[in-house]
Structure 1
């Protein structure tokens, strides 16, 4: 930064005055009352209570001070005191405008009292006027920018200096220094409180953004996991299509040449689709997903899952409607298995020792999957699951149920337990229902 020379000193001073005037005449665009955006009702009303209390105490003491110290007539003393304290109400919404009124009143008061005989007390301002001015600056510091606060303090110093040294028949005493020091302290305190509140608000907003991003990332990870698991299901069906199309000319006698060529084209397309699915799986597979190459489980593996949960300390009972396992499509069976797996893993985590019941029944074209657990035998801290789940909890359940156009209902029970109930269509409709992610 270049230091101004004597030649450009007037121009530099003029620019500084213009900057000062700009900050003193450009208020904040926020018209919300002080603490008006707080969620707590008592916090929103607190500034008004403080202002009313200040008015009730400062107005009578201010009038008495002006009348008793300077022998001012009662109407003049009342007018000056009210003009100095009333801007406190305006300071709750428009603090800069309130400061202009208060500053003008301070100068006017000093000019009037300087020409009256001082009986006792200090000059140029009484204690109630100083207190009102300091509280007004505190309200201003909680609303305006740092540059405005500096400008207000500089203007306060200039006004007190001009008031006590230029053109007035009386020189000031320690009250002037006290006002400058208190005004600076009030502005500094208000700025620190406001800066801390802004920092906390930004931190809260950042935490909310991070939470949204975390939920979105969790959802995307779960969808990728489901896509990897469904690869085996779709690949099996595509393999069947390829084998049936390739062997059709040999299994069916008298197939025309054109039909045989069509079967050959279908088989080739199916094999190409399988190759593309393997490439897609390579993109979706994570570094930790090597174990996902094993065949995907279904309803038939639930008994083994329940046994594993029992070894982890959660007694569980499994009820499967007879003959149901053979009639459940592979994709629906995979969804049912993962829902039961995650529900039981949550019991191990959050209600260790609680008893669980798993039920699978068919209700017409729908499969009903229910997992209910009772309350834990005693209050215990959550444990890391000894039974491996899908890792995404209710988010994963909802995504899997949505995949097969089903419904999911979860929630706590009155006795302290928890219930997970899913309805999975056994025959997927031709036109899926519209669902939202």
Structure 2
């Protein structure tokens, strides 16, 4: 039982098989796009939902490097190449680069500031001494900074906003074209094409990240629903089994109460009426339980009986049949040793008797499924206060066969926990250091609710 339905701890003694290289390569874009999820709040930084601290700090580092590089370069180029004057060069360098720092948290206001600064720079450069022979209206430094800003916008804003930014960029370039100085190399079309390409790529990446997040959330919801459905199905199964156990005792009460006047002649009238009332109450309880059982066994399509209903009407097994269960498992090729305390089935109440059998049954089924050929020990002991059920197996002797569509129904540990809770006991499960697995259940013989507080 190296793995269990509903909970699959990894064996410490068995190394994990590495995923194939194509699978790792396929998961890499998924992990990357998950980092690009759109922040939940407007002022939240880019990559704020990244799992690692260095990933969350990465946007600040990248933008800071660009600002520290572009600021002195812009001032130097405007002063030496364009001869724009030291005062104007310094002001334009600061205005065109420093707002990039704002792009990590508020890229849209940063874009408005940078676009205004770049437009002002283009106007100033029309009066520069050596603008001829150089790029205009966008200098190489302003193009680089603008593309960095486009990356931040693409990872943050909606598609409608990105299209608006791109169109405004092109419109400003067209308007500035009417004031183009002689002898310059026009860069309006270049920036328009580059900015559109960057916005398209980053917007697509952000969209993929959002889609991956929605898929992950939906899978989480589906997993929770499957767990809830499994729990409800197991509870319904336990309720059906308990009905059969309780119905037997109620039937005995009814028969004894009805036959009391004949078995014990000479009863007074009030005593006979009391027995008649007991029999009537027992019959009414049986009718109520049968109506409840009809609902539990229905398949939801008109209230008919569920498939396999005939098997559900069979007598419920108990501790006395665990030895038969062990022998059947041995015949299936699984080496199992058993140690069953004599008289445990007589000492255990019906709910404990049935729960002990079902726990051993599920544990052995998991051994066969997940640890074929493993040495297994089954022990059932009891004392005055509780029944102890213990199933321990070693590591698998051969590889388990993977069932089509999955490796289990998910009912294993869920059913065990529900049965133990029903009796007020405790359950301890987990892997062993040698690669095996252990299931230990303590089932009290007395109802905890009846014990004095």
Determine if the TM-score, normalized by the shorter chain, exceeds 0.5. Answer: yes
Contact 1:408 1:420 in 2 (8 A): yes
In structure 1, the residue matched to 2:371 is: 351
Note if 1:418 corresponds to 2:430: no
In structure 2, the residue matched to 1:134 is: 147
C-alpha spacing 1:28/1:365, structure 2 compared with 1 (3 Å): closer
C-alpha spacing 1:319/1:293, structure 2 compared with 1 (3 Å): same
In structure 1, the residue matched to 2:293 is: 281
CA–CA distance in structure 1, aligned partners of residues 162 and 90 of structure 2: 29
> Offset at 1:98?
0.6
2:333 aligned to 307, 310, 313, which one? 313
> Offset at 1:249?
2.1
CA–CA distance in structure 1, aligned partners of residues 448 and 238 of structure 2: 20
> Offset at 1:372?
0.5
Size of the aligned set, in residue pairs, is 402
Note if 1:428 corresponds to 2:440: no
Unaligned segments of structure 1, at least 5 residues: 1-26
> Offset at 1:396?
0.6
In structure 1, the residue matched to 2:73 is: 61
Contact 1:336 1:369 in 2 (8 A): yes
Contact 1:69 1:120 in 2 (8 A): no
In structure 2, the residue matched to 1:404 is: 423
Which residues of 2 match residues 17-32 of structure 1 at below 5 A?
29-32=41-44
CA–CA distance in structure 2, aligned partners of residues 147 and 319 of structure 1: 72
Contact 2:133 2:185 in 1 (8 A): no
> Offset at 1:61?
2.5
In structure 2, the residue matched to 1:14 is: none
Range that drifts further, 77-86 or 197-206? 77-86
TM-score w.r.t. length of structure 1: 0.87
C-alpha spacing 1:40/1:288, structure 2 compared with 1 (3 Å): farther
CA–CA distance in structure 2, aligned partners of residues 36 and 86 of structure 1: 22
User: Could you give the per-residue CA deviations for residues 40-97 of structure 1, whole angstroms, max 9, x where no partner exists?
Assistant: 2232122122112222332233222212321123343233122212222211101111
Contact 1:246 1:264 in 2 (8 A): yes
CA–CA distance in structure 1, aligned partners of residues 218 and 342 of structure 2: 53
CA–CA distance in structure 2, aligned partners of residues 414 and 74 of structure 1: 74
CA–CA distance in structure 2, aligned partners of residues 432 and 73 of structure 1: 94
Range that drifts further, 169-178 or 269-278? 169-178
Contact 2:107 2:149 in 1 (8 A): yes
C-alpha spacing 1:391/1:54, structure 2 compared with 1 (3 Å): closer
Which residues of 2 match residues 94-173 of structure 1 at below 5 A?
94-117=106-129, 118=131, 120-165=133-178, 173=185
C-alpha spacing 1:404/1:28, structure 2 compared with 1 (3 Å): closer
C-alpha spacing 1:383/1:299, structure 2 compared with 1 (3 Å): farther
CA–CA distance in structure 2, aligned partners of residues 410 and 218 of structure 1: 19
CA–CA distance in structure 2, aligned partners of residues 179 and 383 of structure 1: 56
C-alpha spacing 1:278/1:251, structure 2 compared with 1 (3 Å): same
2:244 aligned to 224, 228, 232, which one? 232
Contact 1:348 1:383 in 2 (8 A): no
CA–CA distance in structure 2, aligned partners of residues 363 and 58 of structure 1: 82
The SS at the match of 1:35 is coil
In structure 2, the residue matched to 1:9 is: none
In structure 2, the residue matched to 1:40 is: 52
Unaligned segments of structure 2, at least 5 residues: 1-38, 300-305
